[in-house]
Structure 1
């Protein structure tokens, strides 16, 4: 089974890539989601959860921005994408910068409005992040050949077979050549046997 580039990156340098690129950002997003739900459930006892939500909102966006820049500058330039499944997995993962970045900008006061409205924005943005991150994980585990991509060696073999199948074959000329060769061989054998008969008569 072939792997996507997304899965290869996560499996390289085990377990650090897996922790840095998937475990930490997803864990922060899920903990932030839990904090928002506790704030909604018990607003009168949510001071601690609000502090946690604010801190995670800042940390998650800043951290994922660093991961995003690392991928764009150091990982993406060296990749040869393995079909649309591979591209979807990688770019869905990178799309997480938009919801997490928006949450961080909210916490910095760039936009957001009243506290209650900002909280609902948090929840919607977190849902968006969890959707794109799970799309990346699901398609990242799929064999890219299911999307029509072929490994380079296999593709070259298919191209060679296709080229050989398109080579013109003139069967009539081959038939004429074979008949001519057979006639020539028959005449040579006839002359050889005639010479032997003459030699035995002498």
Structure 2
């Protein structure tokens, strides 16, 4: 059994890679999700919950943009140039993970007023909620592909898991 580069990244350099590439972005994104649900239910566009929602969205968007650039330069491009991918499952896991930058950066840009600045609070909420939903889908698809053995689809067997 082998693992995707996604899982290998999270498993190496414990606990730092797990914290940097999974825990921090997921905790911030889940904070956005939970506060988003409250805002959707109450339509309260002010107060502490909205403030937490706004700042978690800004932080996760810009934080993940840095993660995206770092992993693109240090992992995705070298793997592509060197033919190091372990098949389409591996590419899918990393690709879906990295594509999370689109909705997360979109949330940050919405919060700082770079996009949709002329929209009503309700329209912004719709855009915001759509971006949150898109991130959840992309992140969960990445996790599912990331946990698969790339050899299931003919990918190369590399980096055996310890104890197997």
TM over 0.5: yes
Question: Of residues 101, 105, 116 in structure 1, which corresponds to 2:105?
Answer: 101
Q: Does 1:118 align with 2:124?
A: yes
What RMSD in Å do the two structures reach over aligned CA positions? 1.6
Note the 1:98-177 alignment, pairs <5 A.
Answer: 98-112=102-116, 113-151=119-157
Name the stretch that deviates more: 84-93 or 23-32: 23-32
Contact 2:45/2:121 (8 A) holds in 1: no
Deviation at 1:129, TM superposition (A): 0.5
What TM-score, normalized by structure 1, do the two folds share? Answer: 0.71
Structure 1 counterpart of 2:19: 19
User: Larger RCO: Structure 1 or Structure 2 (Cα < 8 Å, ≥ 6 residues apart)?
Assistant: 2
Question: Of residues 61, 86, 96 in structure 1, which corresponds to 2:90?
Answer: 86
Structure 2 counterpart of 1:180: none
How many Å separate the matches in 2 of 1:62 and 1:150? 34
Deviation at 1:42, TM superposition (A): 2.5
Secondary structure of residue in 1 paired with 2:14 = coil
Q: Which has the larger radius of gyration?
A: 1
The one-character-per-residue Cα deviations of 1:141-195 (angstroms, maximum 9, x if unpaired) are 101010112338xxxxxxxxxxxxxxxxxxxxxxxxxxxxxxxxxxxxxxxxxxx
The one-character-per-residue Cα deviations of 1:94-118 (angstroms, maximum 9, x if unpaired) are 0000001111111111222111111
Contact 1:6/1:86 (8 A) holds in 2: yes
Contact 1:38/1:46 (8 A) holds in 2: no
Contact 1:86/1:139 (8 A) holds in 2: yes
Q: 1:23 to 1:144 in 2, by over 3 A?
A: same
What TM-score, normalized by structure 2, do the two folds share? Answer: 0.87
Q: Any stretches of 5+ residues in structure 1 without a counterpart?
A: 153-202
Structure 1 counterpart of 2:57: 57
The one-character-per-residue Cα deviations of 1:114-136 (angstroms, maximum 9, x if unpaired) are 11111111111011001111111
Name the stretch that deviates more: 135-144 or 72-81: 72-81
Q: Which has the higher helix share?
A: 1
Contact 2:150/2:157 (8 A) holds in 1: no
Deviation at 1:44, TM superposition (A): 4.8
